Structure 1
Amino acid sequence: MERISLIILTNGTENGLKRCAETCLEQDYPDLEVIVASNDPEIATKLPMTDCKIVVKSGEKRKNLKAVGLAQAIGDYILFIEAEDFLAAPDAVTKLMNIRQKGNNDVLFTNFVALKDGKFIYPSPKIAGILMPLNFMLFIRCYDSFRRLGGNLFSRQLLLELGDNLNGFDIQTLSYRLLELAQSPNFTEQICYVWDGAKSIPTFVWPDNYHFTDTSRLAHSRSTTEWTKTEQIKIAVCVDNYGASKVKVLLYSLERNHPCGGTIYLIYDHLADDLKASLVQLGNQFMNFKLELIKFSVNQRRLLQQISLEKAHLPLSAYYRILIPYLLPEVERVIYVDYDTLVIGNLTDLYNTNLHGNFLGVIRDLGVVVKNDWSKTLLGTSYQNYFNSGVLLMDLTAFRKYGLSWLLHQFIVASTPFFVLEDQDALNLFFKDAVEYVGIENNYVTKLFVNGEVEEKRQLEKIKVLHYLGPEKPWQNISNYPTAMRPAINLYRKYRQELYSKNSVGVPMISVVVIVKQQHEIRRCLESICYQDWPRIEVIVIDASSDSIAVKRVIEEYQEQITQIKYQRVNTMCNDHQLHQLGLKTAVGEYLTFINAIDYMADKMPIVKVMGLLRTKKIDFLCTMHMFTLDGKIVGYNAPGSLIETTGNSTTSLLAYQQVEYQQLTGIFFASSLLSMVNNESSDKVWLQQLFSASRHSAFWQGYSWIESER
């Protein structure tokens, strides 16, 4: 059986000394010795027992008594105990030794509980990940157990190898050095040690010039590397199905702003067939760029699946870029861009940047992460160098030469549980001091329009890449977005409309007739229509309000975002049916719907869903559900999303089934071909019944398409 030496470090003045010694003597582990190392010549008179070794070195500081106790120890393993602390239970050592033996560990760091003001304080963070050389420092930074001495179990041989450094190192450095020396280090959640909560645990401090990898040294050794400038550029974008559904505007913006073109590599794992086909179709229309779709191999997918997403807020596709050097084996360098960016300037200068031997060209993350102190926590004194990973100039040749993708993969696997911003944090630590910083205009985070310092502010015309970082995406409803951010959102939508105008052949148009009765109603309604991601939407505004000037002003704001928007001022005395019929007179869409300006379209782009149903199911009359606001909250009935066939039903039976939905025009989507079969002189109620009777294929979608506001 392996022997363990418990070494109590004491000045002889600690209030908990007696309790500490008693818990050591109570241990049920059979092969154990207790050593008291002290600087107090009278220590023997202050102990409750005699069955222990006592070693005294007068005048020595308590922190330096470790070596004094170790010199007397004969155990295979050493557990230091500070005199204010104590072991949690009589079987504490037995439990630790069982864990050690099971893992054959020569270093075992343990969890602990603090005792303060008579209350036990249990550790909050759960241990994440496995100790390995690439994450030693991250464990030390994250967990207090690595910055206290007591309660951890060490091989006596490893402690002896430290020599004078056993006393010379601070606890953080000592822990790191022991981890480096260990053959099989471990960290257990098992609580066997009680810490005096009145003491403070030393704060983590990044060591001077600490680097997780050798990238900085390698970069400096190749600082004279030259790059031959070229007009054609190569771009890499990584997408999953969601990203692929949003990436077209970015691709179009690249094509629009680079007359010399080049190649865009769209990297993916699995894509729906319709998405893939639409992207190929878009690429075939480009004149400047060649669009290539690059799919992962089975082995590459397995590598990525080793990365933990347990606490992640980003999908696995965020990590695709680490394999770009091997997905593009013949390419020397690329500009990687996130799919939530918009390129509004020429990136040729960025592409030809002299990296001076560094592996990446990056842009500092000003005003976003730096301002909320996360970068200080992650990088310490180097926090101002934290960069955003949404735009990266990558030297793929250098990546391949030094095998950096595989090492980066290992680092991410080892370190992801410790990060807040996941792969971006990993890149910042992995490539510390091995990156070339370029201008902020190459990755301008739109939040800077709101919270940026004066020196960070940029005019849109001076920016090359807009990055819609965070929840404020341009393809969502921006009603609640900060005003300062809206010009950047509007520009994205302008690009989207340009793309749609050139790439919507064969796509049917839907005409949305908006009825305005009060001028303050129109903005939210138009916004909810504008963010619908359908290529061809015609909006017809029938204005029966008392202030046409205010309504026109709002419409002008949306004309660049909704290219087909019509306006008609009408008599305020018109009834609802007359207003609806006036809207129909100018509508040219193959499909139509109505909405009151006080109401608005639901989230999650219902027009896209509805138009998909109308086309694929060949439906010419579709009724949908709606939510409503009550006391400022949006509520609604159960909407499972099912499609219910209603062809052949009577309007009477439908009114009994869904009385509310079938008594109003809002939420009804129908083919314009039905208009020739109905009498426009009747009331809305009768007209709606006629539309339904005229339809050849009708259905009811149990999904929300609009929200009714409180009147």
Structure 2
Amino acid sequence: MMPKVTIVVLSPQGDEEKLKRTLNSISQQTYDEVETLVIAPHAVTLPAFVEQAFFGTPADLTHGITIAQQHAKGEFVTFMQAPDFITDEGDLAHCLAEVDQRDVELGMANFTSLKDGLFYFRTYVRGNYGLLNPTNLIPYMRFHLGLRGVWGLFLRRELLMRLTPQNSGQRVLYQAVHQAKKALLLESRFYCLVVEGSHQVAPFEWQADYEYSDAHRLVQEIQASGYQEQIPAQINVALCIDDNLIRRLPPLIYSIAKHNQDLNLYLVYYRLTTASRAALLQLADYFPQLHFKLRRVSKELHQLIEPIDLSKTKLPVATYHRVLLPYILPDVSRVIYLDTDTQVMASLQSLWQTKLAGNFLGATGDIAPYLSPAENPNWPHPMFENQGENYFNSGVLLMDLDLMRQYHVAFKVIKTALDTAQLFVQADQDAHNLYYFNAYHRLDIKYNYGTPIFDYDVRSFDDIVILHHYVNKPWQPEVMVNDNPLVLAALNGYYRDKREADELLGKWAAKVSVVIDLRHPAHFNLGRCLSSLLYQSYTALEFIVLTNGELPAAQAQYLAGLAKDHPFKFERSGQLAAAVAQASGQYLYFVDIDDLLLQETVIEQFMQAAQQGARLVVSDHQWMNRQTNMIYWQNKPAKVEFFQTVKPDAYQREFGQLARCLVAADLAKASLASGVVETDLPGLWKQTAGKVAILAAQLWLMTVDPASEGDT
């Protein structure tokens, strides 16, 4: 048998026409078990199906709750206000079926509004189970207009009786969710609010007794208890990794080792391939001043985070491993957590010795509050709004693991994520900020200095301990198209550390001399092409810039800045043979300043073919019309074909220009010494290389003038 529902209709003005619309929508419902109560300031004409009417009483929510507590007979109670109405005749039946089947004390139906003749249908972003609870209520209230009052709210009568009557719908909902044994965001739709005059969707209003979590109260208790944290003599650093992040480790670990000695480095993972584990062991061999400690996340711990909704992010669930560090590292009392896109610029000792004053963790502010809405449309953060000034970045955390274990806060952060992740913008960072809102120690920005902050709060590199390459990721192909010289300097420093780390590890067997043709005016920022070279995974590179005389001052200054951190040479004669003569690499790779390598592994793929005996390697390409900026491409398989000889008329696209070839240096130098015309070199090498490799994939972007569209 389906439960009976009592609908309490409030008519604040006693307007019969408005009330008629509300009551008509009730009478048209297919659901039979309905009791209707009407409250109005004066007598009005009512249809026969209305069981009870209360006239001469203020038709506000306080009186509506009081009267419902005294007179409602339904197992569930819901409130309506004239002239609002139920959207469809089957809505009430759907809602009651849902609250009955899910056995809840509170159900909130999806919300519709009608304004100026237009309907606005709003559907709640529900988690895996659609549960509403004290953890996610305030974020939902901020995010969803329908969760700022009681319209569309179904309360089991036992819950209603526990509520204190009050006139604020938001306050009623807040106390109802906190007292409900089980509350649910319904999939069904029910209520339509008619927006007119003073009858509006209520704004969210922060109240003095609101809190996102218990963290702030816990910190106050800890501080009052006189807790004294113990800081070990030896620094502990934790990195959370997976197979995809292994390649990001060498520059980070190299930067740690440059500035720190006798440090415990915990590498936390759930699954790693044999190759990844071997790479970690190699790193350990080359950095003996760091004590490498591999810690596998247990299946039981990992299962705690697996259900977290990550649909709004591109991040793996392993991003939440940092939350579990108190239990992954049960024998560690304090740790510095670092994201893998950070770079250590100085000793970590000052950060390590920072007292947290009874807080569970220390963190620095994030870039987001600095940004204007045009720069970041996701800010103010929909879950924090004007409270977002305290939003912190979770890429660097100083964590009191002893304290976290004592108060079990890791599990509370995970619960926050499970309940609220469907609203998150920044994955675990949002979970941390929700749980630790106003309950963390604010660290100096020098301990987690995001490169975008150079635009707002300039610090010298000598005053930065940890540089964080968020937003300006060094592995993005056009990241150096940036007008801020400090951002460019930071990126160059990262690429330098990456190259030096690879040299220390002996990662690449052969050097490649990259000849960059700058004999014509560049149509793009130089950083466009050079980014795509400097971000390459293959770092055993030197760069030879070929020009016709002196460059414009701005370009010369830009390249001189790069030459401070990277092996650049310059040939100003305009002669290709002279540029090639400067090459010290075993292979030469040719690019035009307007070209763009589309993957960070392009040169690595070319060299893999070269290591199999190919003395000439080429690939297909995409091309862009410079006038329209239209890009033309094909999906092609990532395969490599090897040939001893290639027919003169075959693979015209691949061998059409010099600026798409990797060639053995001795072959290139001999050809140029014989006086071969530059434009004939690819065709000559195709016939004389002995073994040629052709990569089918379109690995780079060629820019052409409209007049040359057919010659690609």
TM-score by length of 2: 0.89
Q: Does 1:210 align with 2:210?
A: yes
Query: Is the contact between residue 370 and residue 383 of structure 1 (CA under 8 Å) also seen in structure 2?
Result: no
Letter in 1 for 2:219: A
Structure-2 separation of matches of 1:548 and 1:385 = 45
1:9 and 1:65 in contact (8 A); partners too: yes
Contact 1:474 1:493 in 2 (8 A): no
Instruction: Answer whether contact 2:508 2:538 (CA < 8 A) is retained.
Output: no
| 2:191 is aligned with 1:193 | yes
- The separation in 1 between residues aligned to 2:547 and 2:96, in whole angstroms, is 81
- The answer to whether the 8 A contact 2:139-2:384 is kept is no
Unaligned 5+ runs, structure 1: 573-578
- Matched position secondary structure for 2:643: coil
Paired residue type of 1:702: A
1:443 to partner: Cα distance: 0.9
Q: Which runs of 5+ in 2 are unaligned?
A: 706-712
Match of 2:654 in 1: 661
Secondary structure of 1:561's aligned partner: coil
Aligned-partner Cα distance in 2 for 1:109–1:620: 69
Shift of 1:661: 2.3
User: Secondary structure at the residue paired with 2:499?
Assistant: helix
One-letter code aligned to 1:202: A
Cα distance in structure 1, aligned partners of 2:595 and 2:29: 72
Out of 500, 510, 516, the position equivalent to 2:512 is 510
Partner of 1:691: 685
In the alignment, residue 138 of structure 1 is paired with which amino acid? P
Q: Aligned partner of 2:200: which letter? A: S
**Correspondence for 2:73:** 74
Does residue 595 (structure 1) correspond to residue 591 (structure 2)? The answer is yes
Give 1:616-635 correspondences, 5 Å limit: 617-630=612-625, 631-633=627-629, 635=631
Any residues of structure 2 matched to 1:22-37 within 5 Å, and which?
Answer: 22-37=24-39
Q: 2:255 aligns with which of 246, 253, 256?
A: 253
Q: Equivalent residue of 1:429, what SS?
A: helix
Distance verdict in 2 for CA 1:669–1:220, change over 3 Å: same
| 1:617-668 per-position Cα deviation (integer Å, ceiling 9, x unaligned) | 443321212233312425344252433424234332xx33x21322322212
Q: Matched residues in 2 for 1:368 and 1:202: separation?
A: 26
1:51–1:704 CA distance, 2 compared to 1 (3 A): closer
Q: Percent of aligned positions with the same letter in both sequences?
A: 24
**Partner Cα distance (1:275, 1:193) in 2:** 55
Are residues 1:702 and 2:703 paired?
Answer: no
1:215, distance to aligned residue in structure 2 (A): 2.5
Residue 237 (structure 1) aligns with: 239
Give the Cα–Cα distance (whole angstroms) in 1 for the partners of residues 61 and 409 of structure 2: 45
Q: Does the C-alpha gap of structure 1 residues 676 and 413 become closer, same or farther in structure 2, counting only changes over 3 Å?
A: same
Aligned to 2:83: 84
CA-based RMSD? 2.8
Find the aligned partners of 2:310 and 2:298 in 1 and give their Cα distance.
20
The 3-state SS of whatever aligns with 2:313 is coil
Give the conservation status (yes or no) of the 8 Å contact 1:106–1:154.
yes
* Cα separation, 2, equivalents of 1:255 and 1:487: 21
Which of 528, 531, 543 pairs up with 1:539?
543
Cα offset, 1:367, TM superposition: 5.7
Q: Supply the distance in 2 between the matched residues of 1:550 and 1:486 (Cα, whole angstroms).
A: 14
Cα deviation for residue 190 of structure 1 reads: 1.2
How far apart are the structure 2 equivalents of 1:94 and 1:552?
74
Q: Name the structure 1 match of 2:424.
A: 419
2:665 to 668, 672, 684: 672
CA contact (8 A) 2:6 2:78 kept: yes
Helix, strand or coil: the match of 2:620?
strand
Conserved? CA contact 1:399–1:405, under 8 Å? yes
Name the residue aligned to 1:575: none
Matched, 1:566 2:561: no
Quote how far apart the aligned CAs of 1:566 are: 2.2
1:230 offset after TM fit, Å? 4.9
TM-score, normalised via structure 1 length: 0.89
> Which segment drifts farther, 311-320 or 473-482?
473-482
* Local SS of the residue matching 1:28: coil
Q: What corresponds to 2:107 in structure 1? A: 108
Query: Following the alignment from structure 1 to structure 2, what is the Cα–Cα distance between the partners of residues 459 and 516?
Result: 32
Task: Report the Cα distance in structure 1 between the residues aligned to 2:445 and 2:244, rounded to whole angstroms.
Answer: 27
Label 1:558 to 1:20 Cα distance change in 2 as closer, same or farther (>3 A): same
- For 1:205-253, what per-residue CA distance to the aligned partner results, in whole angstroms no more than 9, with x for missing partners? 2332533433323322322333445553111112233332122211111
The residue type equivalent to 1:211 in the other structure is E
Residues in 2 aligned to 1:651 and 1:75: alpha-carbon distance in whole angstroms: 87
Partner of 1:499: 501
Deviation per CA, 1:61-85, whole angstroms, max 9, x where unpaired? 5652332244222222212221211
Given the alignment of the two structures, is residue 123 of structure 1 paired with residue 119 of structure 2, yes or no? no
Q: Which residue of 1 aligns with 2:330?
A: 329
Q: Residues 226 and 354 of structure 1 are in contact (CA less than 8 Å); yes or no, is this contact kept in structure 2?
A: no
Paired letter, 2:321? Y
Partner of 1:65: 64
1:684: how far off?
A: 4.1
Q: Tell me the CA shift for residue 86 of structure 1.
A: 1.7
- Aligned equivalents of 1:600 and 1:370: distance in 2? 30
Quick one: distance in 1 between partners of 2:16 and 2:201?
17
Three-state SS of the structure 1 residue aligned to 2:655 is: helix
**Deviation digits for residues 29-60 of structure 1 (CA, Å, limit 9, x no counterpart):** 333222212221x22xx334465322224456
**Alignment partners' CA distance in 2, 1:250 and 1:710:** 38
Query: Match for residue 710 of structure 2?
Result: none
Where in structure 2 are the equivalents of 1:629-644 lying within 5 Å? 629-630=624-625, 631-633=627-629, 635-644=631-640
Q: Deviations over 1:5-29 (max 9, x none)?
A: 2221113126421121222233333
Indicate which of 396, 406, 409 corresponds to 2:411: 406
Q: CA deviation at 1:561?
A: 3.2
Tell me how far 1:464 sits from its aligned partner. Answer: 0.9
Report Cα offsets for 1:484-540 as digits up to 9, x if no partner: 422222222232333234333652111122333246579344443223232210222
Q: Deviations over 1:283-337 (max 9, x none)?
A: 2111421223333233333222111111224332321211111221111111111
Q: 1:190-589 to 2 correspondence within 5 Å?
A: 190-198=188-196, 199-223=199-223, 224-258=226-260, 260-365=261-366, 368=369, 374=379, 377-379=382-384, 382-450=387-455, 452=456, 456-473=457-474, 476-484=477-485, 485-504=487-506, 507-518=509-520, 520=522, 523-524=526-527, 525-545=529-549, 547=551, 553-563=557-567, 565-570=568-573, 579-589=575-585
Deviation at 1:139, TM superposition (A): 3.0
Whether contact under 8 Å (1:626, 1:636) holds in the other structure is: no
Matched, 1:608 2:609: no
State the Cα distance separating 1:352 from its structure 2 match: 1.4
SS in 2 for 1:633: coil
Q: Using the TM superposition, give the Cα deviation of residue 460 of structure 1 relative to its aligned residue in structure 2, in angstroms.
A: 1.6
Say if 1:619 and 1:698, in contact at 8 Å, map to a contact too.
yes
In the alignment, the residues of structure 1 paired with residue 371 and residue 352 of structure 2 have an alpha-carbon distance, to the nearest angstrom, of 26
Q: Which moved more, 1:312-321 or 1:366-375?
A: 366-375
Quote how far apart the aligned CAs of 1:476 are: 4.0
Distance 1:518 1:84, change over 3 A: same
How far apart, in 2, do the equivalents of 1:61 and 1:520 lie? 70
1:465/1:509 Cα in 2 relative to 1: closer, same or farther (>3 Å)?
A: same
Deviation at 1:609, TM superposition (A): 2.4
1:414-472 residue CA offsets vs partner (Å, 9 max, x unmatched): 1111222221111112122331112111111111111x1xxx33122111111112244
Q: Deviations over 1:330-367 (max 9, x none)?
A: 11111111111111122111111111111001112256
Q: Distance in 1 between matches of 2:61 and 2:517?
A: 82
The answer to whether the 8 A contact 1:5-1:77 is kept is yes
Indicate the SS of the match to 1:669.
strand
Distance in structure 2 (CA, Å) of the matches to 1:692 and 1:146: 69
What secondary structure, in the 3-state scheme, does the structure 2 residue paired with 1:514 have? strand
Distance 1:481 1:240, change over 3 A: farther
Q: 1:362-407 CA distances to partner (integer Å, 9 max, x unpaired)?
A: 1122564676584565346643322111110011111222222222
> Higher mean Cα deviation, 190-199 or 523-532?
523-532
SS of the aligned residue for 1:193 comes to: strand
